[in-house]
Amino acid sequence: MFHLPRVAVTALAVASLMVATASAQTVLRSSDTHPDGYPTVEAVKYFGELVKEKTDGRYSVEVFHSAQLGEEKDTIEQTQFGVIDLNRISIGAFGTQVPEATVTQLPYIFRSADHFHAVLDGPIGDEILAAFEAVDLVALAFYDGGARSFYNSEKPINSPADLTGMKLRVMQSDIFVDMVAALGGNATPMPYGEVYSGIQTGVIDGAENNYPSYDTAGHSEVAKYYSLDEHLMVPEVLVMSKLSWDKLSAEDQAAVRAAAKESVSKQRELWAAKEVESKAKVEAGGAVINTVDKTPFIDAMKPVYAKYVTDPKLQDLVARIQATQE
């Protein structure tokens, strides 16, 4: 029988211990459609630092920004299958998969940023986060996504009548298609990554989004009229694959949840600064921004509510959101 000298055995033992230590560190892969430096990307990086700290280095997070792992809709499926561990995504990308979350896609459901925070920071927010379990995801926190307004390459929008016949890109959710139809426009659902070329080539006349997206995706270069009707405030959400979540110990799950909650104030700070910076940048670049009387837009949304808020449970949820004081 072959015997290794004692020193060699010790060296081997040390080496295998090191491998064990190294492999005990799991890197969680996280997706984001936005470029590096965008508030959501930076917030998830910060969350990752907290996760590492709170799990004594057992877990860390790597953010794959700029849609490196795919467009949002596809990454949702990959996250459900556990191919991607974490995903920072707009609730709009879920379509109507999660009924409780769908109510946050209703136009003008949130009256202001303060109302949005009051709802999502309280028990209603927790109820909506918990609803994602039904689609194999553990929703950890909401991030800010500001108010979304229409922009196009043709003219300023002052009233719903100005949208007549306009082809506008929306996120891939039926509710947004109905929203644009109720205003008299033609909605084209398509992935975010196709919007720039869509406008440039005239396939669509415009789209709708917040200032930071309008700016960082370059949309302001091809659609210079930005009209502040602020029809949507769709929350951004950080979700984890249920499969990845179930591999964590109860202690590490608590650490991940706490890290996500702690990253929220950081994201809000970054978001507020980015909104101001992006507005200034698009204006300097030649964007024409106009304010809008929102009343006719709000009134036009009645059929959208009538179509999507039929279930008494959702009617109650909408009523509770509306009754929440900012």
Q: Does 180 bind ligand GTR (CB under 6 A)?
A: no
Q: Does 287 bind ligand GTR (CB under 6 A)?
A: no
Q: Which is nearer to ligand GTR, 55 or 210 (CB)?
A: 210
Instruction: Pick from 145, 185, 198, 235 the residue near ligand GTR by CB under 6 A.
Output: 145
Interaction pattern, residues 184-223, with ligand GTR; x per rule: CB under 6 A: --------x----------------xx--x----------
Interaction pattern, residues 9-48, with ligand GTR; x per rule: CB under 6 A: ------------------------x---------------
- What letter represents residue 252's amino acid? D
For residue 120, give both structure tokens.
């999502």
Interaction pattern, residues 100-139, with ligand GTR; x per rule: CB under 6 A: ----------------------------------------
H helix or E strand, kind and range, residue 59: strand 59-64
Stretch of 90-98, 111-119, 120-128, 296-304 lying at the interface with ligand GTR (CB under 6 A):
90-98
State residue 10 phi and psi, 5-degree precision: -60, -45
Instruction: Pick from 171, 182, 301, 304 the residue near ligand GTR by CB under 6 A.
Output: 171
Quickly list DSSP for 232-266.
Answer: E-PPEEEEEEHHHHHTS-HHHHHHHHHHHHHHHHH
Q: How far apart are CA 321 and CA 299, in angstroms?
A: 18
Instruction: Pick from 92, 95, 107, 198 the residue near ligand GTR by CB under 6 A.
Output: 92
Instruction: Pick from 61, 63, 76, 93 the residue near ligand GTR by CB under 6 A.
Output: 93
Under rule CB under 6 A, how many of the chain's residues touch ligand GTR?
A: 13
H helix or E strand, kind and range, residue 168: strand 167-170
Q: How far apart are CA 7 and CA 11, in angstroms?
A: 6
For residue 151, give both structure tokens.
């922009």
Sequence-ordered alpha helix ranges (H) in the chain: 6-23, 39-54, 72-80, 99-102, 113-120, 123-131, 174-182, 195-200, 211-216, 219-222, 242-246, 250-284, 295-299, 302-308, 312-323
Q: Does 90 bind ligand GTR (CB under 6 A)?
A: yes
Strand bridging mode 236-241 / 86-90:
antiparallel
Task: Give residues in contact with ligand GTR (CB under 6 A).
Answer: 33, 72, 89-90, 92-93, 145, 171, 192, 209-210, 213, 236
